Amino acid sequence: MRPTCTTVLFISLCAFLVSTLASAQDYSRVEVFGGYSYLHVDTQGISSSSLIALCTSVIGATCPATFKVRPSFNGWEAAGQLNLNRWFGVKADLSGHYGNLVSVTFNSIPPVVPLNFSTPDQHIYDYLFGPVISHRAPRYTVFAHSLFGGEHVGFGNFQIVGGPVTLPGPASSNSFALALGGGLDLKLTRHFAVRAGQFDYQLVNSSANGHGHQNDFRFSSGIVFGFGGK
């Protein structure tokens, strides 16, 4: 029996719907990212020259110290993302960055011997959560996210070379944080991709400075592993 036009049309429509559905499911349900991360900390206008000026003003004489301000912190980032459909997902993001914001060298303080003084080593941990929107192409994925959560800042001890004691660092602090940004993943295989770059503006609502907040910048790059897709 020869198929009718209606039968052929019905079969063609079913084939089209099946292929469309399969294409729509061609993404990983879960994605895990891990890699290097760089954080530029907002110093709120603090610089080597401003610290020297403050030192001179406080002691009423030429400042006996040299200051170095280092706003660059290096570390890591790890994230897990659950994709609810091809373009929308939710993400949990953790990162850690490490550095030393200010170091001080005392040139001479008679009758005390010269001292090398450093502020405590600082570690910054961010734990953020939020939605992700993705545009998926065969060879790449572009995404944007809005992440909200908290930031924990901890300190080591004050290090004094030539001094009699090691002083404890300041107390740790916790603040609200958010990150707005996005990035580009380049697909290597069905389950692996390289995150060519992720760029985030990060706002931290911190009461530790007079401004009440700081504006940081974060860049990350690494490997993305996906699984659970069809």
In order, the DSSP letters of 3-50 are PPHHHHHHHHHHHHHHHHHHHHT-S-SEEEEEEEEEEE---TT--HHH
Q: Which of 77, 81, 75, 73 lies closest to 222, judged by CA?
A: 77
**Tens place of pLDDT per residue across the chain (230 aa):** 555 655 545 555 554 444 444 444 578 999 999 999 999 998 876 766 767 677 777 777 777 777 778 889 999 999 999 999 999 999 999 999 999 887 777 665 554 555 566 667 889 999 999 999 999 999 999 999 999 999 999 887 766 655 555 555 566 789 999 999 999 999 999 899 999 999 999 999 865 555 578 899 999 999 999 998 75
Instruction: Supply the pLDDT for residue 170.
Output: 63
Instruction: Supply the pLDDT for residue 17.
Output: 44
Alpha carbons 23 and 189: distance in angstroms, whole number: 16
CB 45, CB 51: distance < 8 Å: no
Distance between start and end Cα atoms, the chain: 37
Domains and CATH numbers, the chain: 29-227 (2.40.160.20)
Residue 29 three-state SS: coil
Partnered with residue 225 across adjacent β-strands are 32, 192
Alpha carbons 176 and 34: distance in angstroms, whole number: 23
Tokens 């030192």 appear where?
55
pTM, two decimal places: 0.75
| Cβ neighbours of residue 158 closer than 8 Å, sequence gap 6 or more | 117, 118, 119, 120, 166, 167, 168, 169
Alpha carbons 127 and 149: distance in angstroms, whole number: 6
